[in-house]
Chain A
Amino acid sequence: MATIRIPPVLRASVGGERELQADGGNVGEILRTLVEEHPSTESQLFGADGTLNRYVNVYLNDEDVRVLDGLDTAVESSDTLVILPAMAGGAR
């Protein structure tokens, strides 16, 4: 099972967890497992057409999956997926 690092804006949708484990052989399968277990993450990750929202980046370890094979990028159980949504906040 690969590790998924959950960003602050998505933690409320996954019961406050900062990291989760999920099954799947590629990025798309793992994110789908996440969405099945935590349905409220779906609209934040995926658009209506099933592709990753453009304001969310997903990294396999330190590399953007868009420069790899996107959702088809193969994932090993020792890998970590990092979800990085755009963040702004200077804390006025």
Chain B
Amino acid sequence: MSPSGAEVLRQIKSRIDEVDPSEVRDRLAHGAVVVDVREAEEWAGGHIPGAVHVPKSMLESRIEGASSDRSVPVVLYCASGNRSAWAARTLLDDLGYQHVESMTGGFTLWKDRGYDVDVPRFMSAEQRDRYSRHILLPEVGIEGQQKLLDAKVLLLGAGGLGSPTALYLAAAGVGTIGIVDDDVVDLSNLQRQVIHNTERVGISKVESAAITINALNPDVNVVQHKLRLDASNIMSILPDYDIVVDGLDNFPTRYLLNDASVRLRIPVVSAAILGFDGQLTVFKPYEGPCYRCLFPEPPPAELAPSCGANGVLGVLPGTMGLLQATEVIKLILDVGNPLIGRLAMYDALSATLTELKVRRDPHCAICSRDPDQITDEELGVFPDYEAFCAGAH
């Protein structure tokens, strides 16, 4: 007669290592991977801080996302210590993990002992469905999705670059999207500014963008800033955001933004486009260079191509805007290598992406100093440019 489940479990427990909850924090501190093998609903109700979630039903296919190195110690836990014992046997016997322990008493005993518990904020069934393709990625998961929902991103402009960025950040569930733009939708915008549409010609761009975003994802709170960013308002708007996405069309505001963002230590994901060419980089204050390290001075007005109307291939801001959105999401999730200290140049005609190194300037007028020393008066003032661009706009 085959042994009962209880008998098999007893046999498994007799030959795997078990660890008391009191020792698990120590294991974590010494580099062990603590894996919660319970179901998603149980994990959502609270779990051990620092643990990763790999439900037992997905153990074989997903454990490598949590720990691919078989020699790293793994501690498994469930609610009472039974499912984790079964899972420990799988890791040891079938998958070749060398140091596997199952926590006795499970999460129930952990809680009874009064140890710390992380309770993830509630995500509705609809949200779990909407973001399921994110949640399946080990680099995002429930926690990453929660970070996206908590994130506050400011888009400067709902134009060529801002349109695709806003659409994809909204779809990704970035919880707060602020949009600064004082313009109205024009028919000539629609060749590339895909967040607007023909019916909305003549209405304000921030309003049009908000309508599209709300229809795409009601989770997103759109903050409409119907204004032009300048020295009088920048310090009242920027502090409410974690990341700024810069698609600015003029130099004075680029310098103003740089100086204010350095002072506030807010990263800026910056892109520029012209014709068939795009540039992209991430300015993360005090970790990498700032815009003034790259270009200490703006070009003279006659050489600044940005002030008047220029041709641009309609898909180019789409490409560059989505690269910006990707960098924003990486910064929020803290994954991968953000484009800090590197500048990517995209040439659409030759289909090439070239990378240049951008270094911090130890003598930079702004970021070589302590942020508290940067005064209101010196925030990005280039009066000649303001006058020139205002005339040509």
Query: A residues engaging B (CB < 8 A)?
Result: 5, 7-9, 18, 44, 53-57, 59, 62-64, 67, 82, 84-92
Contact = CB atoms under 8 A, between A and B. Distances in A.
B285 interface: no
Contact of B277 (A8, A67, A86, A92): A8
Contact of A54 (B160, B183, B297, B358): B297
Given A18-B350, A54-B296, A55-B295, A90 B248 contact: yes
B44 interface: no
A85 B299 contact: yes
A63 B359 CA distance: 9
A92 B297 contact: no
Contact of B304 (A5, A18, A88): A88
A91 B317 contact: yes
28 contacts: A7-B277, A8-B274, A8-B276, A54-B295, A54-B296, A55-B296, A62-B355, A64-B357, A64-B358, A64-B359, A82-B345, A84-B279, A84-B343, A84-B356, A85-B303, A86-B299, A88-B248, A88-B249, A88-B304, A88-B306, A89-B249, A89-B306, A90-B157, A90-B160, A90-B248, A91-B192, A92-B160, A92-B249
A85 B272 CA distance: 12
B251 interface: yes
Nearest to A59: B356
B192 A92 contact: no
Contacts of A88: 248-251, 254, 272, 304, 306
B354 interface: yes
Interface string B192-230: 100000000000000000000000000000000000000
A92 B162 CA distance: 10
B294 interface: yes
A63 to B, nearest CB: 6
Q: How many interface residues does chain B have, given as a range?
A: 35 or more
Question: A-B pairs with the 4 shortest C-beta distances?
Answer: A91-B160, A90-B247, A88-B306, A86-B295
A20 to B, nearest CB: 14
A57 to B, nearest CB: 7
Contacts of A85: 299, 303
A8 to B, nearest CB: 5
Interface of B: 156-157, 159-162, 183, 189, 192, 247-251, 254, 271-277, 279, 294-300, 303-306, 310, 312, 317, 343, 345, 347, 349-350, 354-359
Contacts of A59: 356-357
A85 B299 CA distance: 8
B192 A87 contact: no
B305 A89 contact: yes
A44 to B, nearest CB: 6
A34 to B, nearest CB: 16
Contacts of A8: 274-277, 305
B356 A55 contact: no
Contacts of A56: 299
Contacts of A55: 295-300, 303
A9 B303 CA distance: 8
Contacts of A18: 347, 349-350
A84 B298 CA distance: 12
Contacts of B249: 88-92
Contacts of A63: 356-357
A78 to B, nearest CB: 16
A91 B347 CA distance: 17
A5 B343 CA distance: 15
A90 B298 CA distance: 16
A92 B312 CA distance: 10
A84 B277 CA distance: 12
A30 B381 CA distance: 35
Given A54-B297, A55-B298, A55-B300, 7 more contacts: A8-B277, A53-B299, A55-B303, A59-B356, A88-B272, A89-B310, A91-B312
A57 B273 contact: no
Nearest to A86: B295
A57 B294 contact: yes
Given A7-B277, A18-B350, A90 B159 contact: yes
Contact of A89 (B274, B294, B298): B274
A64 B248 CA distance: 24
A54 B59 CA distance: 57
Contacts of B310: 89, 91
A84 B357 CA distance: 12
